[in-house]
Amino acid sequence: MTSTLTASVGVHKTEALLFFTLLQLSAIVLAGRVGGALALRFGQALAVGEIIVGILLGPSLLGFVSPDLFAFLFKSAPPEPIQILSQLGLILLMFQIGLEFDFSHLAAPQHRKSVFAIAAASLILPFGLGLAFGYYTAPILSPDADRIASALFVATAFSITALPILGRILMDFKLTREPLGVIAISAAAINDVVGWLLLALITELTLTHFQPASFGIKIAWVIGFFLFMCFAVRPVAGHWLGKSSLQRGELSNNVFGGVLIAVFLSAMATYKLGIFAIFGGFIMGVILHDQATLIRAWRERMGQFVLVFFLPIFFTYSGLRTDIGGLQNAEQWDWCVLLIVLATLGKFGGAYLAARFCGLDNRQAKIIGILMNTRGLMELIIINVGLDLGVISRNLFTMLVIMAIVSTVITTPGLRAWLPGHQKNW
C-alpha cells in the first residue's frame, strides 16, 4: 500500500513538472515567434528580436509588471528542464553554424592573415580598455570585489564575441559562404576560445587555486583536441558518411543517430577540457562543413526545428537570470554609457584597424568591425559567471547586460548600411 502511494505521488510530481515545462515551452516559442516577427518589421535580424523578448520574459519586465504571472510561469517548477534544453539547443545550433561555413576561403594567404590579425586586435584592444575601466571603477561599482579580479573579468567581458548570435546573423544575411563571413566567424571562434580560457584563468585566480603549470597543460589539451578532430576524426567521419546511404539529401536513421552521437561526444570532450560544451558542437560542425549532402539533410530534418524551438529556449533561460532595472541614478547611467562606448571602441576599433592593415577597404573593415562587436547572449553567460564568483556587483552586471544588448542591436543596421552590392565583389 505504501509503495503504491509513493508511486502515485511520484507520477503526480512528474506530471506536474511536465505540465509546467510544456507551459513554459509554449510561452517561449510563442514569444520567440512574436519577437522575431517584430524584429523583422523594424529591420532587425530575427536573433535580435528573440534576444530582447527573452530578456523581457524575465524579471526585467514580466517579473516587474506581473510578478504573479511570472511566478506561475517560471517559478512553479524547478528550472533544470529548461536549463538543460537551452544548453542542448545551443550545442545543436553551434553544430549547425559550423556546418554552414565554407572554410576553403582560408586557403588564400591574405584571408588567413586577416583572421589572425583581426582576432588578435579585437582581443587586445578591448581587453586593455576593459582592464583600465574595471581597475579604475572597481572601488566605485564593485566595492566588495577584489580589484584585480574585477578588472580582469571586465577586460574579458569586453573581449568576447557572441559566436552563436554572429553565426545566426550571418545566416540571415547569407554571408555564411562569403569571405567576409568566414573571416568574421573564424576570428570570433579564436576570439572566444581565448576568452573562455581567460575566464577559466580568472576563475582559478578568484578561487585561489591558480597553478601556471596546470593552466598551460589545459591550453595544450585544447590545441591537441582540435588537431585530433581535424586530422583523425575528420577523415574517418568523411569516409563513413561517403559510404553511408545519403541519397537525395535524406539521412538514414542510423546515420542521423551517428551524427548526433558524434556531436554530443565532441561537446562532452570540450566540457572536460574546460572550454564549455558548445565549442565541441561547433568544432564537429566545422570538420563536416564540406559534406554537402549531410548539410542539405540536416537543414531539412533539424535546421528549422533548432532555430524555432531550441534557440528561443536559450534566450529565455538567459533572460530569466537578467534584471536590467538595477541602475538607480544618473551617475550609474553615466558609467553605463562610458562602458558601452569603451567596449564598442575597443572591439569595433580593433577589428577595423586590423582589417585595414590586412588590405581590406574601408567598407569591408567596417563590416568586420560591426560583426566582431556583436556580443549578445554569450556575454550574458560570462557575466552571470562573474556575478556568481562575486567579482562584479549587481550594478556592474546590469551595465554589462545593457552593453551586450546594445552591441547586438546595432549590428543589423550597420550591416544594412554597408553591405548592399558589396558582399560578393572581392
In the chain, domain spans = 84-418
Q: pLDDT (tens digit, 9 = 90+) per residue, 366-412? A: 999 999 998 876 677 778 778 877 888 888 888 888 898 888 888 88
What would the mean pLDDT of 210-235 be, rounded to a whole number? 81
316-338: b (≥16 Cβ within 10 Å) or e: bbbbbbbbbebbeeeebeebbee
Residue-level pLDDT at 180: 83
- Of residues 268, 262, 282, the one with CA closest to residue 161: 282
DSSP state of 373: T
Lowest mean pLDDT among 11-15, 102-106, 413-417: 102-106
Q: Considering only residues 246 and 118, tell me which one the structure prediction assigns the higher pLDDT.
A: 118
Residue-level pLDDT at 353: 94
Residue 6 has pLDDT above 70, yes or no: no
Residue 262 has pLDDT above 90, yes or no: yes
- What is the CB neighbour count within 10 angstroms for residue 361? 11
Q: Which residues contact 106 (CB under 8 A, 6 or more apart)?
A: 112, 115, 182, 186
- In this prediction the pTM is 0.74
| Residue-averaged pLDDT of the chain | 81
Q: Considering only residues 118 and 291, tell me which one the structure prediction assigns the higher pLDDT.
A: 118
Residue 339 has pLDDT above 90, yes or no: yes
What would the CATH number be for the domain defined by 84-418? 1.20.1530.20
Question: Percent of the chain having pLDDT more than 70?
Answer: 87
Cell numbers 512528474: residue:
14
- Of residues 136, 158, 159, the one with CA closest to residue 147: 136
Residue-level pLDDT at 8: 52
pLDDT band at 5 (very low <50, low <70, confident <90, very high): very low
Q: Considering only residues 378 and 106, tell me which one the structure prediction assigns the higher pLDDT.
A: 378
Q: pLDDT (tens digit, 9 = 90+) per residue, 270-306? A: 888 877 787 788 889 888 888 877 888 888 888 888 8
